[in-house]
């Protein structure tokens, strides 16, 4: 989202600083500024020129050779294709070296054989509008040689490109007024409040007391919570003022006409979407907010046909739908050049409902993006009045017909949270000391109501922060921290007791499997999506399709339902890798989903591994790995041939990891994995016909285990944690002579029997064959006392004791 600092300055006077310093400070306090842009700088590099001559181009019918005089900026001739060139006309001239908003720098260039130096410009080429109908014609106030910035009384505008992801939880920041409030708080300067009670009374006085020509009805089953509407007659549709067009362009919106531009301008200012109808498009004098009620097609303003479902909400008149609520208007609902009477809509919709419809239809707009954030319903009236203010300003003869119509929830009953905030908790979470006066100052600057209590504050949350944003004291402390400045909090080590975290059995089992597969299975871990498409299940031939576990608003058909097993997606990943590698092993641990008997979802934790080779089967590698894995995990397991799998009635026992009727099981290379005497998984080489479905060559053997069957039975965590030592260790190496049959363990045991309690460990550091049946074994002894640093005298005595003990055991010290 783009924020115009020129617009921000309407509401707050910021201290002088560079644009980059401003962006950095705002990033630290509020949201991430991705880029600092400068709009309008080109106007300082372009000049007013007059056309002094026009000649036809000798080699192009649609081009002309235009001579110009730009005063001190120079005289010359350019090749021009504009249809409105006329001698004596004053136009903008951009000399060679000018960088235009379109992204290129002007250079001398031959056009159809004629050298052209510079350019006479249209409005879009200067970033003033999107008009490209001809050269921008300047009025009589333009003086030859003056810059376009002087002519338009314009200065370059700093535009901040904000990262949208950093404000997804802040619906109040999707408009310039909300952003200005943040700037005021961040820089500790006053916020101008033009939309005050006096302004409200003035704007409401423009409404009559009689019935509006258009009534408003909101059905309770729609996504609409509140709806304001009113009618204005006597408007004229034309171009909006230059200042409005420039601000819209700075923010990335294309100016269209004076009415549409007002609608977009107020949305960018207040953060509240709205819609302005041509009143003639509203039949039977009524606006009805309702569900569609049945499937039907709807043509939106972009001339695309959209398919609506029964539960989608629309703004309709007495005959037909006019707008997809909160998303986009219909083709015939917008204003035209002949519009003289408009109906203004400002509404509040349920965020989840708009998101659901927008996602399913596949249409994301500036309006829907804002509604999805859960907008403040208390912003509806100020937005409606601001639109009226601009309509009357740009159309002096216009007037309101009737009263301000409203239907929806009782806005006076909306209550915002009051949160008890303890000062001790602020200091505990932030890790620094803050004066109470500073805390109150920060919160009041952000428009929170603050009153003191014995232990801290009672804070009332403003309505624009109460829509799924600030809900508890931790949220308030975050506000205090970011405005105080996280960079201003002194760095210090944490002061709390550090305790060992014991992982639950299922997670420790997963970690053990990961360690084994990487260290002993030489396998790479992969992660596939838990969402899957029906096409892939059909391709693999997987029996269970999870028809009951489909997503209501899937992003695509390929991610339309929960996966029943790891195998389909995992096998697809293995097939993809087989095109790049001749041999590899990979594994995954993840959830599989299925419907239970009561129609609910049942989750299982699964393990899958693949052993691939382009030339030979790795079935035995997989079987050996599975056997070693069970030993590593200390599980009572064994591998069983499928033909041995019989229940008491002679039927094959079901396998929880791979259905026995899966067509991908190899008829000769497959084994069941039994844990505690019951099937818990399977090893199988993938059937060649299934591999052929993926156009994959070679052999792929799978191991699949249902970890849910035994993950609670894994061995307990016996790890003993000790505090980090406060005193140093001392290391002593000595070498003894041993015979060919002497064991190093016996030497270490002899050293440990020296009776030195400060001896924390002994290990073999080196072994050297001396020949003649003798070996030199270097023992490394480590001394440590947790209560003090060991003295030199003690270490000397301890070393003598070690040597004496090993010599008595028959291992003399190597002297030479």
Determine whether the annotation assigns residue 479 to a binding site: yes
Positive/negative CA dihedral, 610, 615, 620, 625? negative
DSSP codes joined into one string, 481-498:
HHHH-GGGSPP----S--
Q: Are 424 and 382 in contact (CB under 8 A)?
A: no
Q: Where are the alpha helices (DSSP H) in 550-682?
A: 567-578, 619-632
Tell me the sheet residues that pair with 83.
none
The strand order across the sheet containing 456-460 reads: 418-422, 456-460, 449-452
CA distances from 109 to 97, 106, 457 (A): 12, 9, 69
Q: Is 55 helix (H, G, I), strand (E, B) or coil?
A: strand
Phi, psi dihedral angles at 699 (to 5 degrees): -125, 130
Determine whether the annotation assigns residue 475 to a binding site: yes
Q: Are 517 and 525 in contact (CB under 8 A)?
A: yes
380-394 and 258-270 are packed helices; what angle lies between their axes, rounded to 10 degrees?
A: 140
3-state secondary structure 361-412: HCCCCHHHHHHCCCCCHHHHHHHHHHHHHHHHHHCCCCEEEEEEEEEECCHH
CA separation for the pair 327, 321 (Å, rounded): 13
Q: Where are the alpha helices (DSSP H) in 153-219?
A: 176-187, 197-204
Determine whether the annotation assigns residue 478 to a binding site: yes
Return the structure tokens found at 118.
């510079």
266, burial (CB in 10 Å: exposed 0-12, middle 13-18, buried 19+): buried
Q: Is 181 helix (H, G, I), strand (E, B) or coil?
A: helix
Q: Are 740 and 773 in contact (CB under 8 A)?
A: yes
Q: Are 398 and 234 in contact (CB under 8 A)?
A: yes
Tell me the sheet residues that pair with 65.
55, 79
Please report which helix (H) or strand (E) contains residue 387, including its range: helix 380-394
Phi, psi dihedral angles at 490 (to 5 degrees): -65, 140
Q: Are 315 and 289 in contact (CB under 8 A)?
A: yes
C-alpha triplet 479, 480, 486: angle, nearest 5°? 95
Compute the residue count for the chain.
816
Phi, psi dihedral angles at 377 (to 5 degrees): -65, -20
Q: Are 554 and 535 in contact (CB under 8 A)?
A: no
Q: Are 159 and 252 in contact (CB under 8 A)?
A: no
CA distances from 812 to 41, 365, 816 (A): 88, 86, 12
224, burial (CB in 10 Å: exposed 0-12, middle 13-18, buried 19+): buried
374, burial (CB in 10 Å: exposed 0-12, middle 13-18, buried 19+): buried
Q: Which residue has the tokens 């927008």?
A: 358
CA separation for the pair 760, 785 (Å, rounded): 8
Phi, psi dihedral angles at 443 (to 5 degrees): -65, -40
CA distances from 177 to 227, 269, 441 (A): 22, 6, 20
CA separation for the pair 326, 364 (Å, rounded): 10
CA distances from 665 to 266, 653, 702 (A): 63, 16, 10
Q: Is 478 helix (H, G, I), strand (E, B) or coil?
A: helix
CA separation for the pair 728, 788 (Å, rounded): 9
Q: Give the residue numbers of the binding site for Mg(2+).
A: 469, 475, 478-479
Annotated binding site: 469, 475, 478-479
């Amino acid at each position: 989202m783009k924020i115009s600092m020129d617009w921000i300055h309407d509401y707050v006077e910021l201290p002088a600083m560079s644009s980059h310093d401003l962006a950095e400070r705002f990033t630290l306090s509020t949201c991430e500024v991705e880029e600092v842009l400068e709009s309008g700088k080109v106007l300082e590099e372009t000049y007013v020129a007059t056309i002094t001559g026009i000649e036809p181009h000798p080699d192009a019918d649609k081009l002309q050779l235009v001579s110009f005089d730009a005063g001190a900026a120079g005289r010359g001739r350019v090749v021009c294709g504009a249809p409105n060139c006329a001698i004596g006309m004053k136009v903008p001239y951009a000399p060679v070296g000018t960088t235009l908003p379109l992204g290129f720098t002007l250079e001398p260039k031959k056009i159809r054989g004629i050298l052209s130096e510079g350019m006479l410009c249209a409005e879009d080429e200067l970033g003033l509008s999107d008009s490209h109908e001809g050269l921008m014609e300047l009025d009589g106030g333009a003086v030859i040689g003056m810059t376009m910035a002087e002519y338009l009384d314009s200065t370059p505008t700093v535009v901040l490109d904000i990262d949208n992801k950093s404000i997804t939880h802040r619906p109040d920041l999707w408009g310039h007024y909300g952003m200005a409030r943040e700037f005021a708080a961040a820089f500790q300067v006053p916020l101008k409040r033009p939309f005050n009670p006096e302004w409200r009374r003035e704007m409401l006085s423009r409404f009559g007391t009689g019935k509006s020509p258009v009534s408003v009805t909101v059905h309770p089953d729609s996504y609409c919570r509140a709806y304001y509407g009113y009618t204005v007659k006597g408007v004229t549709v034309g171009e909006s003022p230059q200042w409005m067009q420039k601000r819209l362009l700075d923010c990335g919106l294309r100016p269209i006409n004076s009415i549409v531009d007002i609608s977009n301008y107020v949305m960018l200012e207040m953060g509240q979407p709205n819609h302005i109808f041509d009143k003639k498009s509203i039949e039977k004098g009524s606006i009805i907010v309702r569900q569609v009620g049945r499937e039907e097609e709807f043509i939106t303003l972009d001339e695309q046909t959209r398919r609506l479902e029964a539960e989608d909400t629309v703004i309709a008149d007495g005959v037909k739908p006019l707008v997809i609520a909160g998303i986009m208007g219909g083709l015939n609902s917008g204003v035209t050049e002949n519009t003289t009477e408009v109906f203004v809509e400002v509404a509040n919709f349920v965020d989840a409902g708009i998101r659901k419809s927008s996602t399913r239809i596949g249409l994301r707009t500036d309006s829907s993006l804002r509604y999805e954030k859960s907008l403040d319903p208390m912003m509806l009236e100020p937005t409606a009045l601001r639109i009226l203010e601009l309509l009357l300003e740009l159309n002096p003869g216009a007037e309101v017909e009737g009263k301000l119509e409203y239907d929806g929830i009782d806005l006076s009953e909306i209550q915002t949270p009051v949160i008890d905030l303890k000062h001790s908790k602020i200091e505990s979470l932030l890790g620094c000391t803050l004066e109470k006066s500073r805390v109150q100052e920060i919160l009041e600057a952000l428009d929170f109501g603050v009153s003191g209590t014995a232990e801290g504050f009672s804070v009332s949350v403003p309505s624009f922060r109460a829509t799924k944003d600030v809900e508890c004291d931790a949220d308030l402390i975050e506000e205090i921290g970011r405005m105080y400045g996280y960079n201003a909090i002194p760095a210090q080590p944490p002061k709390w007791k550090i305790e060992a975290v014991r992982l639950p059995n299922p997670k420790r089992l997963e970690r053990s499997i990961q360690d084994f597969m990487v260290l002993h299975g030489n396998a790479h871990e992969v992660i596939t999506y838990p969402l899957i498409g029906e096409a892939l299940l059909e391709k693999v031939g997987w029996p269970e399709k999870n028809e009951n576990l489909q997503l209501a608003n899937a992003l695509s058909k390929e991610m339309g339902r929960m996966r029943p097993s790891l195998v389909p997606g995992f096998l697809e990943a293995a097939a993809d890798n087989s095109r790049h590698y001749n041999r590899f092993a990979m594994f995954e641990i993840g959830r599989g989903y299925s419907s239970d008997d009561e129609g609910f979802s049942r989750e299982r934790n699964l393990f899958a591994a693949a052993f691939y080779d382009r030339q030979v089967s790795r079935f035995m590698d997989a079987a050996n790995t599975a056997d070693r894995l069970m030993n590593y995990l200390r599980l009572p397991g064994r591998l069983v041939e499928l033909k041995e799998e019989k229940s008491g009635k002679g039927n094959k026992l079901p396998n929880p990891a791979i259905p026995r009727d899966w067509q991908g099981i190899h008829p000769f290379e497959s084994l069941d994995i039994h844990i505690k005497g019951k099937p818990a998984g399977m090893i199988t080489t993938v059937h060649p016909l299934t591999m052929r479905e993926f156009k994959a060559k070679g052999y792929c053997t799978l191991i699949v285990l249902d970890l849910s069957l035994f993950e609670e039975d894994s061995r307990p965590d016996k790890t003993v944690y000790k505090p980090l030592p406060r005193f140093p260790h001392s290391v002593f190496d000595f070498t003894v002579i041993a015979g060919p049959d002497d064991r190093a363990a016996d030497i270490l045991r002899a050293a440990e029997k020296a009776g030195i309690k400060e001896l924390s460990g002994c290990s073999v550091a080196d072994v050297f064959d001396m020949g003649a049946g003798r070996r030199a074994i270097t023992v490394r002894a480590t001394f440590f006392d947790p209560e003090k640093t060991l003295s030199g005298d003690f270490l000397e005595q301890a070393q003598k004791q070690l040597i004496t003990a090993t010599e008595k055991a028959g291992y003399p010290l190597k002297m030479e």
